[in-house]
Amino acid sequence: CQNKEDNAKGVYFAGEIVNPTDSQVVLFKGEKAIDSIKLDENNRFEFSLDSVQEGLHHFYHHPELQYVYLENGDSLQARLNTVDFDESLVFSGKGEEINNLLLEIFLDTELEEDLVYSFYNLEPAVFSLKIDSLKNDKLNLLDNSMNEFKFSYKAYEIVKAGIVYNSNISKEAYPFYHRRRSGENDMHKLPEFFYQYRQDIDYNNKELTYLRPYYNFMKFHLGNLAYTSCKNNCGSNLKVASKKLHFNKHQLRLIDSLISEKGLRDNLFRNVAIDYLLKHDSEENTRMFIADFHKLSKNNKHNTEINNLYEGIISMQPSKALPALTLTNYDGDEIVLSEVSSGQKVVFYFWSSAELGHFKNVIKQVAKLKEKHPNYQYVGISLRTDEKRWRGLIDTYDLDKNEQLWIKDYDKAASTLLVYDPNKSIIAKDGIIINAFANIYKSF
């Protein structure tokens, strides 16, 4: 009897991946990797766990991830083709009903994106009716499935939350998208009932912390609250770039006052910090922001990441020396970044063989810039590209071998040079930074 009871608590999750893009699958609960498994010779994986913390998980096969809802006693199979990862994914076995429903609602929501965007031109009352109709269709599907398959209460509540919070995202976004679509100068006045759902917001539901609609709703909602509060009480023109610090400090204070659940709180603080820091405000403002961030977000689990990004941004300010990053030229010789711009103005731009469309566009743009601004040297730095493939692309597209560099360690390059935007460029002269946050399309 004891063995049967133990088996009933175990969880079996296995599957087959057609056209795999990696050698392994990793199973997560929140941000914690529970287990990882190598694909076998038939591209199959198999997790066998004594028990799980019941609820929403996700599995990761680089570069894709998807939800899987697991309860003790589940015996679940998944099959997918990476060519159409989400669309081809099918679950079977014990636990299939809730997982296939989660997937169906996820795909339906994706298909509705263009339709929802078309609604933003409507008046608020009509928009609200349209969005509520889409939400109610999914809630009816959930209730019918619940009646048929008898999901657990916890599973039902997670699917319901995904539907409701995703619908509410559209309403939080409405005033901003409507202004953009309509061309109105000010935010459209909203009827009193428009945000009625806000009275039911659960700001501290640990079970929903890693549910994307819930987390994305919190980001939209807090941004909306910060904007409205600032506009009504601070007399600030939020379109002015210098007000970025002011607005983001509002967001930090809102998170501090509304969110107590540690995981969600840390992630939301991180989101505001990353978003603000990558917009490269002045050095003085950046220092003020990071001081507020650490004051309000003590012991944040993302502190190392935030501090590294902050220090990287400070080190890439104008008039500072280029970092001593070592790259490889076409001949295989190592060269330090600062040496490349010795005695001349240089524009560094970035490309990857993983994004060939972007690569082709950026080399066309560089060709135009060479004609328009011939006093600069234009040097491409290739990231996330095999060295042999890098040389092959230089030869195939007849690029100047003296103007192309390669770096092996993508993570180090990205964190040192802050390459988070594919169109980023760095302008330097004599090894000194002029603008480390230029855009290859917009800054010239």
Residue 104: what are its φ and ψ, rounded to 5°?
Answer: -60, -45
66 is written with which tokens? Answer: 């998807």
Q: Which fold has domain 2-93?
A: Immunoglobulin-like (2.60.40)
Helix (H, G, I), strand (E, B), or coil: what is residue 358?
helix
pLDDT for 242 equals 40
Residue 2 has pLDDT above 50, yes or no: no
Give mean pLDDT, residues 228-250.
73
Q: At what angle do helices 262-277 and 212-233 cross, to 10 degrees?
A: 60
Position 236 pLDDT exceeds 60: no
Expressed in angstroms, the distance from the first to the final Cα of the chain is: 75
Would the pLDDT of 200 be above 90?
A: yes
CA distance 268 to 30: 14
pTM of the predicted protein model:
0.85
DSSP 297: S
Rounded percentage of the chain residues whose pLDDT exceeds 70: 96
Please report the pLDDT score of residue 228 as a whole number.
Answer: 87
Q: What are the residue boundaries of the structural domains of the chain, listed by start?
A: 2-93, 111-315, 326-439
Q: Which whole number is the average pLDDT over 356-360?
A: 93
Question: Which helix or strand (DSSP H or E) is residue 31 part of?
Answer: none
| Cβ density class 303-320: b for 16+ within 10 Å, e for less | beebeebbebbeebeeee
pLDDT reported for residue 3: 42
- Pairing mode, strands 377-382 and 404-406: parallel
Give the integer Cα–Cα distance in Å for 155 and 98: 7
User: What residues have CB less than 8 Å from 335, skipping those under 6 apart?
Assistant: 326, 327, 328, 329, 405
Q: What SS3 string covers 79-139? A: EEEHHHHHHHCEEEEECHHHHHHHHHHHHHHHHCHHHHHHHCCCCHHHHHHHHHHHHHHHH
Q: Which of 80, 227, 101 is nearest to 160 (CA)?
A: 101
Helix, strand or coil, per DSSP, at residue 382: strand
Q: What is the CATH number of domain 326-439?
A: 3.40.30.10
* C-alpha to C-alpha distance for 380 and 365, rounded to whole angstroms: 12
pLDDT exceeds 50 at position 15: yes
Nearest to 376 by CA among 325, 444, 329: 444
Give the helix ranges, DSSP H, for 1-55: 2-9
Which residues neighbour 400 within 8 Å (Cβ) at sequence distance 6 or greater? none
Query: Does residue 339 have a pLDDT over 70?
Result: yes
pLDDT for 411 beyond 70: yes
- Whole-angstrom Cα distance, residue 350 to residue 385? 11
pLDDT at residue 237 tops 80:
no
